[in-house]
Structure 1
Amino acid sequence: MLTFIGLGLYDEKDISCKGLSAIRTADAVFLEYYTSRLMGTDIPSMEALYQKKIHLLSREDVEQHPDPILDAAAVGSVVFLTGGDTMVSTTHADLRIRAAERGIPTQIIHGASISSAVCGLSGLQNYRFGKSCSLPFPHGRWMPTTPVEVIATNLAQNLHTIVYLDIQNTRYMQIPEAIVIIEEIAEKKGIEIPLYVGIARAGSDNPVVLAGGADTLASSDFGPPLHILVVPAELHMMEREFLERFAGLAPSP
């Protein structure tokens, strides 16, 4: 049996009771920590609560060399842990398909997702979001234009956009640098982005949520990662009031 478990948003205590029970009764526990991270905890703290040794996986382990995971699941009970909600990444879906091809039973135990947390913290309605995008760190003089094209397409359809910010080992993109990158690309393409919402440390006791123009958010201190960015479309009256009350958005004239 291979059980995919989402760990939630911030620390080891975010896991569901069902997920914790599955971990404690498992024969082997694997953790994929490259698509998302629990910034409020560390591996020793997780092992202390879960009462299990955790085997940390690299991207290559999951995508290119998954046999140790599948071999263990073929003869015993294995859990595969991910930050946030599981199955969001195609990597996880591919692993489940590989398990099914080998006749290994699988199940999913969901965790809190950043996509729903964004709606809760910002007040932006979930049915008004279009396609999301990821913003990678630039490489030399190269900067990706796809995220801004996705934002522009969504804005043209009056849809909000979630922009996932890059994670590279111990390097985490932060909201101010993301806005600088997006604004530079948008200017070259003649695209105007009137409003941003920045969210830091969703799931923690003290998340930061700020709404405003590019200059405001690019000069704001959001504190430690993880950060995520939202580009809202035209705001509904209730969305605007929520952002004014809880995210510091200046009242409309």
Structure 2
Amino acid sequence: MLTFIGLGLCDEYDVSVRGLEAIHRADAVFLEVYTSVLTGTTFERLEEYYGKKITPLYREDVELHPEPILDAAAAGEAVFLTAGDSMVATTHADIRIRAAERGIATRIIHGASITTAVCGLSGLQNYRFGKSVSVPFPHGKWFPMTPIEVITENLSHNLHTLVFLDIQKDKERYMKISEAVDLLEEQASRTGAKIPLYVGVARAGSEDPAVHAGDADEMRNFDFGTPLHILIVPGTLHDIELEYLRRFAGLC
């Protein structure tokens, strides 16, 4: 059996009771650490709270060499842990397909996801979000323009855009909202686009989340604090969305 367990947004206490029971029963515990991280805890604290030795999984472990995961699931009870919800990343779905091809039973235990948490924190209505996009750190001459293309398309349909910010776990580097805004503004200047409003969220799910809305200059100067950060580019705001941002995100 291979059980996919979403751990929620912040720390070791966000896992569901059902998820924690499955971890306790498991013969092998794997934690995917490259698509997202629980910044409110440490690897050691997770092992202590779960009472299990945890094997970290990096991109190549999941995408290129998943055999140890599948072998453990074929031999007994294995769990595949991820921050947030289990099936947000395509590579996680691929692992489930590979397990099915080997005749391994699978199940999913869901956790809180940033895709819904940002709606509660920002007041932006979930059915008004279009396609999401990620902003990567540029590398050399590589400067992808996909983010502004997706944002522009969503804005043309009056839809919000959820913008994921790059994580380079091997370098312990997490993109900040100010960095993402700089990159998006450069992309906008190259294409003639305009982003009138941003909404930034930091540390969703923690005791001290930060939520702030404003134009590019406002977002560059606001201190969102420690990671993880995520960004929203809203479409035209509904009256309730506007009032929510004024009351809870400092929108002037």
Q: TM-score range, shorter-chain basis?
A: over 0.9
For 2:28 and 2:96, the matched residues in 1 are separated by: 16
Alignment partner, residue 206 of structure 1? 208
2:231 is the alignment partner of 1:229:
yes
Alignment partner, residue 189 of structure 2? 187
Unaligned runs of 5+ in 2: none
Match of 1:56, as an amino acid? Answer: P
1:25-49 per-residue CA deviation (whole Å, 9 max, x = no partner) reads 1000000010000000011111111
Equivalent residues in 2 for 1:1-253, closer than 5 Å: 1-169=1-169, 170-250=172-252
Match of 1:199, as an amino acid? Answer: V
Look up the SS of the partner of 1:178 in the other structure: helix
1:95 Cα deviation from its structure 2 partner: 0.2
Match of 2:37, as an amino acid? Answer: R
For 1:161 and 1:43, the matched residues in 2 are separated by: 32
1:39-86 per-residue CA deviation (whole Å, 9 max, x = no partner) reads 000111111111111011111011111111101100100000000000
1:141 Cα deviation from its structure 2 partner: 3.4
1:142 Cα deviation from its structure 2 partner: 2.6
Aligned residues between the structures: 250
Match of 2:127, as an amino acid? Answer: Y
For 1:103 and 1:188, the matched residues in 2 are separated by: 50
For 2:162 and 2:18, the matched residues in 1 are separated by: 29
Match of 1:74, as an amino acid? Answer: A
For 2:220 and 2:64, the matched residues in 1 are separated by: 38
Look up the SS of the partner of 1:46 in the other structure: helix
1:192 Cα deviation from its structure 2 partner: 0.7
Match of 1:127, as an amino acid? Answer: Y
1:175 Cα deviation from its structure 2 partner: 0.1
Look up the SS of the partner of 1:209 in the other structure: strand
1:199-233 per-residue CA deviation (whole Å, 9 max, x = no partner) reads 00000001000000000001111111100000000
Look up the SS of the partner of 1:140 in the other structure: coil
For 1:207 and 1:175, the matched residues in 2 are separated by: 14
Unaligned runs of 5+ in 1: none
1:136-161 per-residue CA deviation (whole Å, 9 max, x = no partner) reads 00112331100000000000000000
Give the alignment's TM-score, normalised by structure 1: 0.98
Q: CA RMSD in A?
A: 0.5
For 2:116 and 2:72, the matched residues in 1 are separated by: 33
Match of 2:2, as an amino acid? Answer: L
For 1:12 and 1:90, the matched residues in 2 are separated by: 24
Displaced runs of 4 or more, over 3 A: none
Give the alignment's TM-score, normalised by structure 2: 0.98
Match of 2:245, as an amino acid? Answer: L
For 1:141 and 1:75, the matched residues in 2 are separated by: 47
For 2:13 and 2:143, the matched residues in 1 are separated by: 37
